[in-house]
């Protein structure tokens, strides 16, 4: 890892100020999140709470397009540069004190929230959630699949596919067992 790359790693510790006062997961910003076509990229905002989207003009030039008031290490940017999918910041592990109405994935068109999807819309039966010492496994984000769809897999062996423009659930499939491995 180059020293330039190391210097871009930002460590954010989020401490809950209300409720039980327990600490949230430690989150890392590992640099820009590029769209698949590499024309656009998103970075953590200077306030460390927002996502800033840029258009790549050349190798060294960029143009700021917009800023969403949210950030997560599970961020996905569509090829149009207009649609952003923000996943639950804890990734595949919920805290042991999770709420069933916890927002797991949010869909944005530029800075405007289109729709949020909660855990109770993803998991049919909370008895399927898998507790460990580290947290509670719910599934994982597959990511963008094609230009207009986002997928996630659940511990119930279901793949949920959403439309990124509306946030609506398009399809539920039961992929074969080998497809249910988290991405590297």
Q: Kindly report, residue by residue over 21-75, the tens digit of the pLDDT.
A: 333 333 455 678 999 999 999 998 888 889 999 999 998 999 999 999 998 889 9
Tell whether the model's pLDDT for residue 87 goes beyond 70.
Answer: yes
Would you say 104 and 153 are in contact if contact means Cβ atoms under 8 Å apart?
A: no
Taking Cα atoms as reference points, which of 73, 40, 51, 95 lies closest to residue 143?
73
The residue segments making up the domain with residue 67 are: 3-180
How many distinct structural domains can be found in the chain? 1
Which residue bears the tokens 């590029």? 34
Q: State if pTM tops 0.85.
A: no
Tell whether the model's pLDDT for residue 160 goes beyond 80.
Answer: yes
Confidence at residue 176, expressed as pLDDT on a 0 to 100 scale:
67
The alpha carbon torsion through 130, 143, 77, 49 (nearest 10 deg) reads 10
Distance CA 116, CA 105 (A): 6
Distance CA 38, CA 135 (A): 34
């Amino acid at each position: 890892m180059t020293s330039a790359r190391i210097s871009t790693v930002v460590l954010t510790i989020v401490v809950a100020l209300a409720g039980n006062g327990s600490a949230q997961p430690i989150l890392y910003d590992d640099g820009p999140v590029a769209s698949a076509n590499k024309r656009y990229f998103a970075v953590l905002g200077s306030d460390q709470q927002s996502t800033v989207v840029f258009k790549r003009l050349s190798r060294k030039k960029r143009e700021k397009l917009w800023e969403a008031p949210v950030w997560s290490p599970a961020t996905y940017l569509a090829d149009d540069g207009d649609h952003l999918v923000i996943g639950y910041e804890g990734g595949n592990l919920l805290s042991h004190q999770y709420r069933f109405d916890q927002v797991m994935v949010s869909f944005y068109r530029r800075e405007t929230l289109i729709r949020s999807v909660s855990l109770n819309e993803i998991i049919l039966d909370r008895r399927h959630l898998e507790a460990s010492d580290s947290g509670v496994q719910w599934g994982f984000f597959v990511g963008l699949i094609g230009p207009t769809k986002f997928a996630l897999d659940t511990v119930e062996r279901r793949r949920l596919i959403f439309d990124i423009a509306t946030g609506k659930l398009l399809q539920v499939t039961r992929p074969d067992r080998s497809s249910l491995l988290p991405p590297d």
